[in-house]
A and B are shown apart, each in its own frame.
Chain A
Amino acid sequence: MQDSIFTIIENKKIAKDVYRMLLRGDTSAVKNAGEFVNIQLDGFYLRRPISVCDVEGDVLTLIYKVVGKGTAAMSEMPEGTQLKLLTGLGNGYDLTPAGDEPLLVGGGVGVPPMYLLAKRLLAQGKTVHVVLGFNTADEVFYEDEFRSLGCDVTVATVDGSRGVKGFVTDALPSHYTYFYTCGPMPMFRALYRATVTSGQFSFEERMGCGFGACMGCSCKTITGYKRICKDGPVLRKEEILWAD
């Protein structure tokens, strides 16, 4: 964990309600794909946790959706704005069990952490299958970016306005060795049932601190109580308890 100042070098809309922010600063604490940062915003008491989409040298890429006043304020920040970020938060994805053909499934604003993960897996020589799920075509982002990396990309939209009509579970490849996912809970439940291999899920929860101190984001797992911010956000398929 590191607390430092970053400067916005780009902040633009890339899809409906979705923005990409590039920040320059000390990225040395960012280690694994699937980690997040916690951003302090003027006028808001709590920080905003946002997953890391990419890190390249001293540039951090975040993709966020405007869901409330805090993210709306972020979307209006001009280039040059300085932000205080806690970096290096969360466990991130474990690449070890990926196998030769890992599957990456991102739903909506759960897509961004899949990007750095795909880069890391491709660097290890893996064949990377990516399934991106959205509600409608105007929400779709990063389809071309994943393709440019060299991934096998399938897009699914609920209304069929782009790619496969339906949910990500309607667009899964016939063969994969392991899976990684980030997205909404209904998608997780469907994926849990539809997937034939083991995998890792990245969870979301309202957080107090983001670094393990307040116990605000705890969940029960088969292996005990876990803090989404510190012991997660990534949990293994085998340890998840579905509360229903």
Chain B
Amino acid sequence: MGRLSVNLCGIELDNPIIPASGTFGYGYEFAEIYDINILGTFSFKGTTRDPRFGNPTPRIAECTAGMINAVGLQNPGVDKVISEELPKLKKCFHKPVMANVSGFSVEDYAYTCALLDKEPQVGWLEVNVSCPNVHGGGMSFGTDPQAAAEVVAAVKAVTSKPVLVKLSPNVTDIAAIAKACEAAGADGISLINTLLGMRIDLKTRKPVIANTMGGFSGPAIFPVALRMVYQVANAVNIPIVGGGGVSTPENVLEMMLAGATAVEVGAQNLIDPMACKKLVEELPAAMDTYKIENLKDLIGGVNNG
């Protein structure tokens, strides 16, 4: 075990760097330009029970130090993910991978997770509760502690793999949602998902995004994400995967001080496909600068004195 290793819900990671779901596909586009086995792991594209095309285009809008996306969970559905994408993933990535799962009902989540539970390469299930609950008036599962807890309980009942819940930041009290997930049996919390955002084209006076609103990500959201990781770390006793605007090794160290065991990197992969490779390579020098011997000693070490 090296200086960078951390343990996430019982599985050892060589380093805490995890490309976030939706920014890394199933890994193979990135494997064209570097050996992705240097990563701690990665979270593959959000998977749903049925195939989804997602939202109309334009789905992307540029912002200051960030971007908005409204892809809409495009994916081929869990059956094809297992039959077509995972075999391709397996060829370029040989470590346990994180399976990101979305659903529109509690049953959807349980169905998809039960199938992914049978896949040996899946190390963790990362349950995205930012989707609208079609049986609950369209409110996101992640905005209601009880609805989030129901998803966690249903998923835990069908899997023996560690379950991480990926929380939406678009809530009043994220710590309360995290606590409800922990009480329902979650093995870890992953945060944050994107912040709801919007842009308007001044020439046409129309929203830039066809779907009007979308998820804002990029370096601009880092302070918000860090604050939420800190709040959740103070509220729960399960490991946290911190993410949101991470683009430098120093950001990684801050996230870990705030309480993250591992760190997700999202939008940065899209503007620099080598971003996560660079983070893994640059971490040791940043650790030396701040006299950090082992990364795992840093977790939650923010000095409030």
- The residues of A with any CB-CB pair to B shorter than 8 Å are 1-3, 40, 44-47, 86, 205-209, 211-220, 225, 230
Closest to B71 in A: A215
User: Can you name 15 A-B pairs with beta carbons within 8 Å?
Assistant: A45-B271, A46-B67, A46-B270, A47-B271, A205-B58, A206-B58, A206-B59, A207-B60, A208-B69, A209-B270, A213-B25, A214-B22, A216-B71, A218-B71, A218-B74
Residue in B59, B61, B269 whose CB lies within 8 Å of A213: B269
Which of A3, A212, A213, A218 has most B Cβ within 10 Å?
A213
Instruction: Give the residues in chain A near B270, CB-CB below 8 Å.
Output: 46, 208-209, 213-214
- The answer to whether A46 touches B25 (Cβ under 8 A) is no
> How far, in angstroms, from A225 to B59 measured CA to CA in the complex?
15
- The answer to whether B67 touches A208 (Cβ under 8 A) is yes
Q: Mark B214-237, 1 if CB is under 8 A from A, else 0.
A: 000010000000000000000000
Residue in A45, A205, A208 whose CB lies within 8 Å of B65: A45
> How far, in angstroms, from A239 to B71 measured CA to CA in the complex?
22
- The answer to whether A216 touches B69 (Cβ under 8 A) is yes
- B250–chain A nearest beta-carbon distance, Å: 19
> How far, in angstroms, from A215 to B23 measured CA to CA in the complex?
9
Residue in A2, A44, A86, A214 whose CB lies within 8 Å of B69: A214
Instruction: Give the residues in chain A near B107, CB-CB below 8 Å.
Output: none
Interface assignment of B12: CB less than 8 Å from any CB of chain A: no
- The answer to whether B57 touches A1 (Cβ under 8 A) is no
> How far, in angstroms, from A218 to B270 measured CA to CA in the complex?
15
Instruction: Give the residues in chain A near B29, CB-CB below 8 Å.
Output: 1, 211-213, 230
> How far, in angstroms, from A219 to B210 measured CA to CA in the complex?
13
> How far, in angstroms, from A200 to B64 measured CA to CA in the complex?
36
Instruction: Give the residues in chain A near B53, CB-CB below 8 Å.
Output: 218, 220, 225
